[in-house]
Structure formats: C-alpha cells, structure tokens
Amino acid sequence: MNTLTLQPNRIAQYWALTKPRVTQLAVFCAVIGMFLAEPGLPDWQLVVAGTVGIWLLAGAAFAVNCLVEREIDARMARTARRPMARGEITVLQTLAFSGVIGGAGMWVLYNLVNPLTMWLTFATFVGYAVIYTIILKPATPQNIVIGGLSGAMPPALGWAAVANDVPMQAWILVLIIFVWTPPHFWALALYRRDDYARSGLPMLPITHGMEFTRFHVWLYTIILFATSLLPFAVRMSGLLYLVSAVVLGAIFLRHAWLIWRRYDDLVARKAFTFSIIYLSLLFAALLIDHYIPYA
C-alpha cells in the first residue's frame, strides 16, 4: 500500500522540478515561432519533435535551477514547498533526472529536428542553468536584465526547428521577450521584497530601493510598448496584430504607471499577473494575424 501511494507523489515531485507553468509559457512561445517560420502550416512532425525536445531541455534547466537554489528556495515563502527545498529529492536524483531528460531532449532535437536547434537549445540551457542561475543571479541586481536572454530564446528555437535558420523576424520575437522580462520579474520582486530580502539575492528593490525599481518597471514597459510594434513595422504582421499590441501595451502601461505613481502590493501583484496574460495574448495575436490573408 505504501509503495502504491509513493509513486504518484514521486512523479509529482519530479514534475515540479521542471517548473511546469514557466515551461509551458516558454514552449508556447517556441511553438508560435514554429508556425511563424512558414507561410503555411509547418511540418507537423517537426512541430511535435521540436516541442518535445525543447520542453525536455527546458525542464532539465529548471531542475538544475531548483538544485542550485534549494537553500535560497527554502528561505522564501513562495518557493519553500519545492521538492528540493523540502529535501524530498536528493542532489544525485535531481542531477540524474536533469541529465536523463536533458539528454533525451538533445537526442530528439538532433535526430528528429536539426542540429542547429539542438545546439541553440543547449546553449539556452547553459545560459539559464549556469550563467544566469549560478553566476549572475547571486552577483548583480541586473541579473534579470542580463540573464533574460536565455529566457527570451524560445521563439528563435521554434523558428530554427522548422526553418533550420534564425532570421531577423525570429530575433524580433526574442527581443520582445527580452524587454518584457524586467518589468515582469520586478513587479514580482516588489511585492515579494521581504521574501527576496530573506533569500540573500541582490534583487533590485533590495539593492536600489522601491522607488528606483518602480520607475524602472515604468521605463521598461515604455520600451516594451515600442518594441512590440516592430513586427508590424517590418511587415511581419498586419493590422490585427498592431491593434492587439497597442491595446495590450496600453493596459500594461497603465499597470506600470500605477506601480510607479500609486504603488501598493496589490497593484504590483496585478501587474505581474497581467504581464503573463500580456505575453500569451501578444504571441497568440501574432499567430492569428499570420494566417489572415491581407490584400
């Protein structure tokens, strides 16, 4: 009886190591890149294999992140229930799990997609699991800005999976996520500032203060609004996307302005939640617009 009840719990613990909600958003952006890479529908076999491979390597990177930050996670209310923070999974088990799913992801991408996608995804793994998690995050309050490139890569990975190339249009999508990352995470850091203070991580509200961080949320959101118009400016998208980007951007600007001028923790929490909705809807609008036959 104990063996039967243990297995589902163990599966859930390993699943939690992959940070599934974050992975889902990353893979969603990668899939959008796959569909935008072709004027028509992409090869479904490449889409499936690319999605599986990218998902596996992303999950492996997040498992390494949980391993490296297990003591930090244990000090924070938001992350204290993660399996590594609770000591439910050992270091060796986590390394083995990450190695297995990461290796499987690399095999899938190299053999069923193309070597370019495998190497780009592996570089993204190294960028997040090593450069961001181990080097940047504990060293500088600009960790989110500098390390944001690895988190912004999924559209380029998806594009490469289908086209075996990463043209300018793919890098525009990467740039959008790159600029989106600071206001997204700083909104979280603002209302979780006590958590981050306990963690010892040099997050911007801790090192430079609330007012400085609030202004930079507003500043980066303005930059994001302008960046989000680039797909229309380079004729990568049409009117539907333009209207969607303007409307979504205006709502995000409103959230950011409230953070800057009328801050309370509820305002920051709402901004953080909307930032996830914003990115999902923006990329969904790109996908829908891609298949509208403009005259």
Query: Structure tokens of 132?
Result: 């961001």
**C-alpha–C-alpha distance, residues 98 and 96, integer Å:** 5
pLDDT by residue, tens only, the chain of 295 residues: 344 344 558 888 899 999 999 999 999 999 999 999 999 999 999 999 999 999 999 999 999 999 988 888 888 888 888 888 888 899 999 999 999 999 999 999 999 999 999 999 999 999 988 888 888 888 888 888 887 888 899 999 999 999 999 999 999 999 999 999 999 999 999 999 988 888 888 889 999 999 999 999 999 999 999 999 999 999 999 999 999 999 999 999 999 999 999 999 999 999 999 999 999 999 999 999 999 987 6
How far is residue 97's CA from residue 263's CA, in Å, rounded to a whole number? 42
Question: pTM higher than 0.85 for the full model?
Answer: yes
Structure-token pair, residue 92? 């060796």
**1-165 sits in which CATH class?**
mainly alpha
Task: Identify the three-state secondary structure at position 51.
Answer: helix
The residue ranges of every structural domain in the chain are: 1-165, 167-295
End-to-end CA distance of the chain: 65
